[in-house]
Amino acid sequence: MDIFIILLIIVAVVLFQFLQPINDQKRISTLPTHRYNLLSGERDLFHSVSIIFCHLMKVDGQITKTELNECKTFLYSEFTPEAANLILSHIKCYAKEMDPSNAVDPSFYECVRKKFSYDRRVSFLNGMFKVAAIDSKIVRVEADIIMRCAQSMAVRNVDIDRLKGFYAYGFAWEESEMTP
């Protein structure tokens, strides 16, 4: 019985840490990654994915329902339902306070690069393109984020060009065409 109470307290403390509102972008980009390793070695990855997708969706002004739904579809295809739900809850929390004019800390891209195989990194970029293109256009700032992510995750230019070509067809590119 005492062990059950102790475990319940630990779970409550961990949940409180994950649900605690974050008040400024500086704290978001500098959170220690060990904080997300409390339950699983993947918490830092979930945090990184959350920050990257939140920034991608918010950078053009606001996160739309269609962007969030496309992100949700992608996350459920790439992660377990529990992990996808955790990432989505992080995105919703960060979206309230994130300043889209601030760049994403490169350590978040680095975390994804280290944790994902090459094929999963390409799939991750494909998901980013899907989310950015859901409103039938990819604006320059979204393209810049995707390209920064691709370069930081060491994705080959041929794969980047293939994805760019796929999403360029049928979409109105705002400003100029993306360049690496």
Residues 2-42 have pLDDT tens digits of 776 766 676 555 555 555 444 333 333 333 333 333 344 45
Would you place residue 178 in the very low, low, confident or very high pLDDT band (cuts 50, 70, 90)? very low
Residues 67-99 have pLDDT tens digits of 999 999 999 998 888 888 889 988 888 888 877
pTM of this structure = 0.68
Buried b (16+ CB within 10 A) or exposed e, 34-65: eebeeeeebbbbbbbbbbbbbbbbbbbeebee
- Domains recognised in the chain with CATH numbers: 40-173 (1.10.3680)
